[in-house]
Amino acid sequence: MTLLKLTFILTISLILTSCGGKFGGDARNNPPDPKERVKKNLEEGKAFRLSNMMKKQGSGNFEFASSNELWRASLDTIDFIPLASVNYSGGIIITDWYSSDGNSNEVLKISIRFLTNEIRSDALDIKIFTKACDNQNKCVTSEKSGNLIAELKKEILKKAVKYQKENPDNKKEPYVMSTPGDG
């Protein structure tokens, strides 16, 4: 019985503490007309529509991986290189060492880190490492900078924008105010 009381008190405490904080919003930032406030809240995603309640909703973060345009564009751009590590939840793709010709003594490795999910130029942190080995298998690894990183980033962003335009889920429904009696 005491365990039940303790659980009840703990639950009530959590509920009450979650109610704390600032209620409402700043009136200066919201339109005074209720219809305009509703429209603004729906456009900003601060409300819900009953018509959307019956639509299938995604579950978990892993479904997001296939719908994230930057992620897909990055994988498609470097699809010719074997991958060593791919972690969607960590936001990083690391390729294996790669050489375009099998006899070359120089190989490269690409690391792509996602800083944001938005498609913009500072969303990706791309690093390219080269490893040059001599005939005695003494290798020197160094980080490469320059044109190749810029070209890779440009290609990924170009593909991501293309994928975003093709995605039907990105098309937002405009808010239409219904009048009473519309049904």
Report mean pLDDT in 10-residue bins for the chain, 183 residues. Answer: 80 68 62 74 59 49 61 92 89 90 82 89 92 85 89 94 80 59 55
- How many H helices and E strands in the chain? 5, 5
State the burial class of residue 161 (Cβ atoms within 10 Å of its Cβ: 0-12, 13-18, 19+). Answer: middle
Closest by alpha carbon to 109, among 75, 78, 137, 136? 78
d(CA 172, CA 68): 17
| CB-CB contact of 175 with 43 (8 Å) | yes
Residue 59's pLDDT is 44
CATH of region 62-168? 3.30.530
d(CA 9, CA 7): 6
Residue 168's pLDDT is 67
Residue 78's pLDDT is 93
Closest by alpha carbon to 85, among 109, 106, 102? 109
Coil, helix or strand at residue 17: helix
Residue 44's pLDDT is 65
For the whole model, what pTM was predicted? 0.56
Q: In what order do the strands lie in the sheet with 124-133?
A: 83-87, 92-95, 106-114, 124-133, 139-144
